[in-house]
Chain A
């Protein structure tokens, strides 16, 4: 990728203001939920400790890598489109979608094991928070993938390019938000003891 460093960076918000308002609202909802998790964990440290031992941290780590890769691929796609090379950039987006689907597969496998072990929303504070936070995020990944699929379709048809980046940048920003939330969720729920 080539970035011309001689030009001052353009002072503009990548993507639509509307998506940023939505992203902020989503982050606020996640933020309050995370705070509630931390608050409750502080009140039941032993219970949460025991619950966290049962989580598969390797699966969480793989998923972290998958989402980070997806975000990097989305960046490549956006850069490609910005250079006017939308059609050649489309495969990057397809790669991101594959990573996202893989995330859903890994997470789905984790859920299947958890449900088989009797984990459910009414199974005490840890199980409630684990399922609520991860499922809320899981649904965001699905929505993000729907958005990426729409963008991929548009990119292949040449809808995005220099001067017509709004839709692509907005969708990419949303995907990065989904990624960012996982980067907080993973250490918070899986790692920190």
Chain B
């Protein structure tokens, strides 16, 4: 089920919220509320994947049972074997569903064989919930978290619908206490509403609208239509904005829903496009994933406490795995490699320069190279990526611009300007400035404006969902 759907907003959510707060808490126990969240999460997941819900439950059981065994045999040699077996089972599931056809395809190409593809649908969110289970198992092994003996509480953590499909990747350590003891308040609930509405608006009004631009520019660029520089640029701007508002909007909704039910999830985005280097970008973009790879892969490989060559190799490995995590295709591996190369260049050569030059130029550097990376990321094949690169640099068949690209530039220009401003902290700062500088009058104005703004977002979003059918979600496929 998508957050940005009529089914979720006007059937699932009101029912779950109502039941959640109606359910009594005998002696402060969250048992019944956790049970409701678990059942609701199963329904939420099964709505899109009725069979694969069994895969998720099976992986949860493996994670929970491994935890019990690790705790029971702590200090004994067998515990390492338990950890390895658990990791192998969890990762095998991810590899099987996500990467089998990729490997078969490559084997067929390499050995001219005719192995049949499995053509399995990818279980929604498998990359996210697998990583969450792994974080629990590894952290438990490392002694950073306590064992969770209650299978319901553990299953609630893994399957919690608020962050199940597309993150943030919530580590067990982050919500360990909240699973059994969390507080609910009007302030917390409203904080969640505010964040959820903001994310919903970002997703439906901005990301989906830019998604339409991406689809039509792709159709023109790769379908024998106008292959102009302006169209390639529109595609890049459109996709850069779509993926940011799509994913950060979804994270906002997840964090907002968490607040409504008393959870505090980690932040996932921090205005990444205002970064001055790719190194900084990855500290601001999909932060829970970057930190996951840092803590569980990069540091496990030795991080930077090794020789120079090994350190470079570690960076390359981590980023190729990061790319591969995003999708089973060579374009994703190359995208990871692209990132690794730039991160290495920045670490050893560019970082000092980027810090010295005026901010404007380092921003331009970041925007250009992150946008170019999206070509690899979004292209369905390397040939398509090459075609787009050539068109962008003037080697397309339609020159600088044509009727279609000029029309769509004019059609989207207002939204592009609004969205670019929305990628920066300016709107938040403006509200803060207004609140601080206008005193009581400003506070009273905001008292009225905030609920009105949220009502407007909800109604306009509803109008888009009722009337439009274009509602993809990029990170679902990961």
A, B bound: no
Binding site for A on B (CB under 8 A): none
Binding site for B on A (CB under 8 A): none
